[in-house]
Structure formats: C-alpha cells, structure tokens
Amino acid sequence: MCNLFQIVLIGLVVLGAQADEVVVKEIIPSKVESAWLEIDWKTDLWEARKEAARTGKPIYLWEMDGHPLGCV
C-alpha cells in the first residue's frame, strides 16, 4: 500500500517526465522544418554519379561549407 507521501512523489515524477517530453517536442525539428528531408539526398558524390549514369538523370549537387544536411 502506498502512503500519501509516496503517491505525491510518484505524481511529481510523472509530471516531471511529462514536462520533459513537452520541451523535447519544442526542441526537435517540426514537420514543416523537416520537409526538405523528403528529398532523397545522397551524401556520396561518386555514388550519385553512378546512379546518374544508371538512371539517365543529371546530378543536382548542394555544396556548402559545413554539411548542408547537418552543420546547422
């Protein structure tokens, strides 16, 4: 049997975990922010070259100082 103190303590722990989850959701990218990842970005130019040769498509290269997919 839990006494009142234990019940309050458990309640505080649960509330704390819920508050953490709320702030985690604030920090991670939203769906709108992640829309650019719907494009199938490759990270290896040579693999892209091979695929372009195989599929008969041109290559689109996004080149940035600091990786475009992960620097910021």
The site for another protein (CB under 8 A) is made up of: 19-20, 22-24, 26-30, 32-33, 35-53, 55-72
Of 1 and 26, the one with the shorter C-beta distance to another protein is 26
Smallest separation (angstroms) from another protein to the CB of 10: 16
Smallest separation (angstroms) from another protein to the CB of 9: 16
Dist. CA 70–CA 62, nearest whole Å: 13
CB 52 within 8 A of CB 59: yes
Smallest separation (angstroms) from another protein to the CB of 14: 15
CB 69 within 8 A of CB 43: yes
How far from each other are the two terminal CA atoms of the chain, in whole angstroms?
51
